[in-house]
């Protein structure tokens, strides 16, 4: 199936640990994003990569480091996890072009991170 | 900077009744407008979008929205809801500039009652 996939779906870990979330898209898109959804359902962009180049870097602690090995993958590594990092993290992708489809972002199913 | 306000955090509605979800935005430049739906424990799915042209936009699942530039609004409507429409609905904007960053409203939870 063509889609945006994320692994793992659920991640439970203790404070201070380091963890990674992986994202892959097979839609042929060239731009990928990470969003954070907090416990009140509020969604906020964290990062965006276009052709492996960082183009959006919102005010996010530097414990969060995105890595894009190629256009189809955007992973999120989090160091020294804190309680406040508990949230659902969504990966998304889009195509950069002049057509109307370029502004459509396709979202993955999310990764629910729980820090205890 | 742009911002999005969804005026209702929750909207209870009976099955087969109409529903309207309100969305207002503020931006000093032109924006693109979107409505996304999030079903329980799932990712976001695009319902519809306004980029340009006709201000009445039709989307999937019988939803439509109207862009009103003077009122900076983009309200979502459905004439007759189903139980399966129970979900969280998000209005979002992105600037007609580099980055394609989506700025979301706080969401409106629609609960359809039988």
Model confidence pLDDT, tens digit, residues B42-66 = 899 999 999 888 999 999 999 999 9
Q: How far is A57 from chain B (nearest CA, A)?
A: 10
Facing A42 at nearest CB: one of B34, B43, B106? B106
Chain A CB contacts of B36 under 8 Å are 107
Chain A CB contacts of B32 under 8 Å are 103
- Res A64 pLDDT > 90: yes
- Res A50 pLDDT > 90: no
Buried b (16+ CB within 10 A) or exposed e, B53-70: eeeebebeeebbbebeee
Instruction: Give the CA angle between residues A101, A107, A113 to the nearest 5°.
Output: 160
Question: Would the CB atoms of B99 and A109 count as touching at under 8 Å?
Answer: no
Region A90-107 average pLDDT: 82
Instruction: Give the CA angle between residues A63, A109, A2 to the nearest 5°.
Output: 115
SS3 at position A102: helix
Q: For residue B57, list its beta bridge partners.
A: B65
Q: How far is B96 from chain A (nearest CA, A)?
A: 9
Chain A CB contacts of B104 under 8 Å are 42-44
CA A58 to CA A60: how far, in whole Å?
6
Q: How far is B88 from chain A (nearest CA, A)?
A: 9
* The predicted structure's pLDDT at residue B53: 87
Facing A41 at nearest CB: one of B34, B45, B88? B88
Across the beta sheet with A19-25, the strand order is A4-7, A19-25, A73-78, A64-70
* The predicted structure's pLDDT at residue A103: 78
Question: Would the CB atoms of A44 and B42 count as touching at under 8 Å?
Answer: no
A56 touches B at CB < 8 Å:
yes
A55 touches B at CB < 8 Å:
yes
Q: What is the mean pLDDT of chain A?
A: 91
- A62 CB-near residues (< 8 Å, 6+ apart): none
Question: Would the CB atoms of A103 and B51 count as touching at under 8 Å?
Answer: yes
Tens-place pLDDT, residues A10-37: 999 999 999 999 999 999 998 999 999 9
Tens-place pLDDT, residues B76-106: 999 999 999 999 999 999 876 656 788 999 9
- Closest-CA residue of chain A to B41: A109
- A18 CB-near residues (< 8 Å, 6+ apart): A77, A78, A79, A80, A81
Between residues A109 and B98, the one the model is more confident about:
A109
CA B105 to CA B92: how far, in whole Å?
6
Region B10-17 average pLDDT: 97
- Res A38 pLDDT > 80: yes
């Amino acid at each position: 199936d063509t889609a945006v996939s994320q692994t793992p779906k659920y991640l439970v870990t203790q404070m201070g640990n380091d963890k990674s979330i992986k994202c892959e898209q097979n839609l042929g898109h060239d731009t990928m994003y990470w969003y954070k959804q907090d416990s009140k359902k509020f969604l906020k962009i964290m990062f965006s990569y276009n052709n492996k180049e960082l183009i959006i870097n919102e005010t996010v602690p530097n414990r969060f480091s995105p890595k894009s090995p190629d256009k189809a993958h955007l992973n999120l590594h989090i160091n020294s996890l804190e309680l406040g990092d508990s949230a659902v993290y969504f990966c998304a992708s889009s195509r950069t072009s002049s057509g109307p489809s370029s502004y459509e972002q396709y979202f993955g199913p999310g990764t629910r991170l729980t820090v205890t | 900077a742009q911002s999005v306000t969804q005026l209702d955090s929750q909207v209870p509605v009976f099955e087969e009744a109409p529903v309207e979800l309100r969305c207002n935005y503020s931006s000093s430049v032109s924006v693109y407008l979107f409505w996304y739906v999030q079903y329980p424990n799932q990712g976001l799915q695009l319902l519809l979008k306004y980029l340009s042209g006709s201000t009445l936009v039709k989307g999937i699942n019988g939803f439509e929205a109207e862009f009103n530039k003077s009122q900076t609004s983009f309200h979502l409507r459905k004439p007759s809801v189903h139980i399966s429409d129970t979900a969280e609905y998000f209005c979002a904007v992105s600037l007609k500039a580099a980055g394609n960053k989506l700025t979301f409203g706080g969401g409106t939870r629609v609960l359809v009652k039988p």
